[in-house]
Structure 1
């Protein structure tokens, strides 16, 4: 009787333990599956370390309540007829300077204001910009690329030149001073060391020099190659699609030639700062100028030092 009772109790205990084990195992598998589903679509972060590569913007936006203070600078030609030792390899001259602030309204929406000197006759530039993160890449490649939209309005404050109607600053009214840029920034982070970007761009200038284009399309491309924990090589390039006859006319009249802006730089992370040391043939910093109006050539030594310093601050209220 005792043996049968022992066996009965043993069988009951074994059955309870077996059912419990099955339930625990099933629960663990279910939790594991749910966790996999939650993490499989994890968003890719830090495709680039700054909101700007060299000349063009990146897909990055600021976090909510984050403020980014940025200073960009372009010097004169390093070599060529306007460079060399006499001008201390361009450091004696400044072709353009820009000071700007960007603020994260949300994690996906960044607004900005800036003031730039301007590198053409169109100077004293005031810029307002908006950047919106539309799509973010995921680690499982369900979404293989990130897409960010960028738009800006730039107003020229320079005094109008009404004596020469062919001048790019022969403004009749305020609306002539307005310029617009729209860009779709398509980016992909291939791994922790390499990111690539394509930037279809549209530039509209309400007023231009005689036979210059008011509307201009361009395609930008760039990349970031990280080679140490704190340093990376960055490159970007823009190909404007100009009207051939207008381009030839302007080059003949101005005795110059248009070139495509190419930038190569070294990115250095220093805690809260991101520092860029750049070399580019673009004299201007604003999109409304370096995309349509680059007239310097790398092959002629007409490239210049440039730098960009970015410092971010958290403006969130502490509880």
Structure 2
């Protein structure tokens, strides 16, 4: 039988956001005073600036938002497997293939509130993805350590425009109504800048998919973490890792039916600042870019050579009027 979901995902969104804020403890104190680490600032209570240089690491978001009246245009690209059975010289180490592409626009309503619109190819049977998202700074770290971490909320709604599968009622795209095409992501982003060269992030995540493959989970929790280590004035090392918490029985069933295993996602790369651009060169076993796909549905692993080269490039435009 076709799987029908009756959950009210809009209520899940807000509920999880509030519970996470109330229930998740602050990160532990740094061993050294942040004020000294940031260059001996004398003013107490100032907000810590530029915890990260971009809104994303590789797969995961950071706490950063766009300044008011700024537009951030970003392109993300993932290639095919570098090694393994689907990679190697015959596939030009993955460069002949593209697993996912995303083009997005983020706009700063205020310095603390960013809204976004994006279009992604999609890396599973659920494709032609249209995403609307919202990112808001809730709490900001201060230089005197009175507020030791920054907390940012991220919410997104993704709609799949792919043609519905009318032949297989158990398929993930066997949509019966428009709302079946929607998926939701909510995240609480805990970030701390320990020094000018080191920033870390921890991200509890809740995903709700209105419709899934038969016997897959509609609701899924995950935990992600990552960081940025500055190597030089304009180059930094970035890394992130995500653990989805799947139901063991449903996971075993899907792996047997699909003949594929699920894996945690690991990404490593370099972040380069070039004037108004921020360029990421990265490697990850995730084929998808959207959270609602790479968190629950990564079926490739580093150990089998199923990692890929990817890049992202962003350019910001300011619409603020400057006085002459």
TM range (shorter): 0.7 to 0.9
Give the one of 211, 218, 226 matched to 1:214. 218
Q: Provide the rounded CA distance (Å) in 2 between the counterparts of 1:295 and 1:231.
A: 31
Q: Does 1:134 align with 2:138?
A: yes
Aligned residue among 163, 184, 187 for 1:183 = 187
Give yes or no for the alignment of 1:144 onto 2:143: no
Which of 90, 115, 122 is equivalent to 1:111? 115
Instruction: Say which SS state the counterpart of residue 190 (structure 1) adopts.
Output: strand
Give the deviation of 1:38 after TM superposition: 8.9
Pairing 1:302-317 to 2, within 5 Å after superposition: 302-317=306-321
Q: Is structure 2 residue 48 aligned with structure 1 residue 44?
A: yes
Q: 2:293 maps to what in 1?
A: 289
In 2, distance between residues paired with 1:179 and 1:108?
A: 25
2:252 matches 1:248: yes
Q: Which runs of 5+ in 1 are unaligned?
A: 1-36
TM-score by length of 2: 0.87
2-structure distance, mates of 1:318, 1:299: 53
Following superposition, the deviation at residue 317 of structure 1 comes to 2.2
- The within-5 A match list for 1:156-171 is 156-171=160-175
Q: Does 1:74 align with 2:95?
A: no
Detail structure 1 runs of 4+ shifted over 6 Å in the superposition: none
- Indicate the SS of the match to 1:39: coil
**TM-score, normalized by length of structure 1?**
0.88
1:192 Cα offset (Å): 0.2
Specify which of 267, 272, 276 is matched with residue 271 of structure 2: 267
**Which one of 257, 277, 283 corresponds to residue 279 of structure 1?**
283
Choose from 46, 56, 63 the match for 1:59. 63
Hey, what's the Cα distance between the residues in 2 that align with 1:135 and 1:39?
Answer: 19
Question: What residue is the counterpart of 1:198 in the other structure?
Answer: 202
SS in 2 for 1:176: helix
Where 2:142 maps in the other structure, the secondary structure is: coil
> Root-mean-square deviation (CA), in Å?
1.2
Distance 2:143 2:109 in 1: 26
2: CA distance, partners of 1:129 / 1:317: 26
CA deviation map 1:55-79 (0-9, x unaligned): 0110000110011000000000000
Note the C-alpha offset of 1:130: 0.2
Secondary structure class of the residue paired with 2:64: coil
1:92 to 96, 111, 115: 96
Q: Distance in 2 between matches of 1:255 and 1:155?
A: 27
